[in-house]
Amino acid sequence: MGAEAGIRRGRRLLRKALSGTVCGVAGLVVEARGLRVAYGKVVVLEQVGLAARRGEVIAVTGVNGAGKSTLLTCIAGLRRPTGGSITVLGRPPQDDPSFWRQVAFVADLPTWYPGLTVREHLGLVRLTNAPVDGWTMDPEDLIEAFGLSARADAVPLTLSSGQRQRLSLATALARPSSLLLLDEPEQSLDAGFRQVLGQLLRDRYAANGGTVVMATHDLDFAAAAGARQVLLEDGTSVDVAA
């Protein structure tokens, strides 16, 4: 390849990267094929497939023990599957800084800094995360959107369980990301705010190019988020609705 051809090819790749299309297959952010996870002789996932594109919300549903959380931890690179393949943003997921600069994961409640207020936690997250291609919200906008204005100067340990869950979710949106993984984000949230959260995910995060993969039991919440449902049943996946 000549020097000029090499330069032209480099420019094309740069334009694609900046437009957010380099995700394996055009716009494909998460792709799992034939995924298998077993704990000894106990098979949790068998031949699971999942594809999530840029700007899409996926709701992974199923009964307790169906493997929803296991699937999310595989996508997050925190658990290695025993079979099949998985790619996130064009490469195998890995628990390393470069991966987490593009991916946010909300599962169990985080450990809070005891001396920092709600506002200071959100400001710290925003300050310490280097910019990447990805949508984010201003901390003050998050405080208002998540109904935390009256408690913005309180420390997290004085909040109710529902308020702490709201703060945990707001914290994930305070940093830029391309993929948001949520493990039953509706926990401790009242029905009214579940609708608000669904609309935030749909109209603010996904509408701006972010991809959401979440495990949930609440189909009304999934509908509010405009999610496509993927049902885990008997260890396999079924695409329920578009």
What SS3 string covers 191-209? Answer: HHHHHHHHHHHHHHHHHHC
| 19 pLDDT more than 60 | no
Q: pLDDT tens, 156-206? A: 999 999 999 999 999 999 998 999 999 999 999 999 999 999 999 999 999
**135 is written with which tokens?**
């949508």
Q: What is the pLDDT of residue 111?
A: 86
Distance CA 191, CA 201 (A): 16
User: How much of the chain, in percent, has pLDDT values that exceed 90?
Assistant: 75
Helical axes 161-173 vs 118-128, angle rounded to 10°:
20
Q: pLDDT tens, 72-93? A: 999 999 999 999 999 999 999 9
CA distance readout (Å), 123 to 142, 174, 175, 240: 10, 8, 10, 39
Contacts of 160 (CB under 8 A, 6+ apart): none
User: How much of the chain, in percent, has pLDDT values that exceed 70?
Assistant: 86
Which DSSP symbol is given to 113? P
Domain boundary assignment for the chain: 54-80+90-241
> Do 8 and 2 touch, CB atoms closer than 8 A?
no
Q: What is the pLDDT of residue 130?
A: 63
Q: What is the pLDDT of residue 240?
A: 73
**231 is written with which tokens?**
């049902």
In this prediction, residues 48-69 reach a mean pLDDT of 96
Q: What is the pLDDT of residue 10?
A: 44
**26: pLDDT confidence band, cut at 50, 70 and 90?**
low
**238: pLDDT confidence band, cut at 50, 70 and 90?**
confident
**5: pLDDT confidence band, cut at 50, 70 and 90?**
low
In this prediction, residues 49-75 reach a mean pLDDT of 96
Spell out a b/e string for 132-145, using b for 16 or more CB atoms within 10 Å of the CB, else e: eebbbbebeebbeb
**134: pLDDT confidence band, cut at 50, 70 and 90?**
low
CA distance readout (Å), 187 to 75, 161, 162, 202, 231: 21, 9, 8, 19, 19
CA distance readout (Å), 94 to 67, 88, 116, 121, 236: 20, 9, 30, 26, 24
- Number of neighbours of residue 116 by Cβ within 10 angstroms: 14
Dihedral over alpha carbons 242, 239, 173, 184 (to 10 degrees): 130
Fold classified for 54-80+90-241: Rossmann fold (3.40.50)
In this prediction, residues 116-143 reach a mean pLDDT of 85
Q: What is the pLDDT of residue 12?
A: 44
Distance CA 80, CA 137 (A): 32
